[in-house]
Structures are given as structure tokens and as C-alpha cells.
């Protein structure tokens, strides 16, 4: 994962209104990688304590993350 991508994504994941966390598989430098290489978690656990996988929050888009990356 590029340092810029991680830093840019963190600006969204640290927002208290967004309760999701993610696992990134490899380097994310394109929209295709953004859409396919990130597993999103809801921040909640099931009855067995396992993380619940969810869908990407609408607030976190490639366009928004890329704009943050370009600021760095």
C-alpha cells in the first residue's frame, strides 16, 4: 500500500461518523484496485466475535481518496 493512499484513506476512516474499517490486499494506486482489493468491515462483531464484512461506505469513493492523495 502506498503511504499516500494509506494516509488519504485514514482521513475518512478516522471520521467518527464512519464506523467502517478495512483490510487492504496489496497496493492500491488505481480505481480498479480500490474497488477490488479492499475488504470493508462494519466495525461490529457477530455473536462469535468475528468481524462483520460489509460494503464500502458511500462516503468513501475513489475520487475523494484520490483527491486527498493529490494533496499529500
From residue 22, alpha-carbon distances to 52, 71 in Å are 11, 22
Return the pLDDT at 45: 82
Question: Is residue 16 pLDDT above 70, yes or no?
Answer: no
Of residues 59 and 1, more confidently modeled:
59
Domain positions in the chain: 3-71
**Is residue 1's pLDDT more than 70?**
no
Distance CA 24, CA 38 (A): 5
Distance CA 29, CA 26 (A): 10
Question: Which residue, among 4, 53, 48, has the nearest Cα to 28 in the 3D structure?
Answer: 4
pLDDT digits 0-9 by tens, 19-40: 667 888 888 889 999 999 988 8
Sign of the torsion angle spanned by Cα atoms 60, 65, 68, 72: positive
22 membership: H or E segment, kind and range: strand 21-24
Amino acid at each position: 500500500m502506498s503511504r499516500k493512499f494509506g494516509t488519504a484513506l485514514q482521513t475518512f476512516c478516522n471520521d467518527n461518523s464512519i464506523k467502517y474499517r478495512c483490510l487492504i490486499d496489496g497496493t492500491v494506486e488505481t480505481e480498479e484496485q480500490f474497488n477490488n482489493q479492499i475488504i470493508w468491515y462494519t466495525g461490529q462483531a457477530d455473536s462469535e466475535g468475528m468481524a462483520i464484512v460489509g460494503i464500502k461506505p458511500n462516503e468513501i469513493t475513489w475520487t475523494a481518496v484520490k483527491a486527498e492523495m493529490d494533496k499529500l
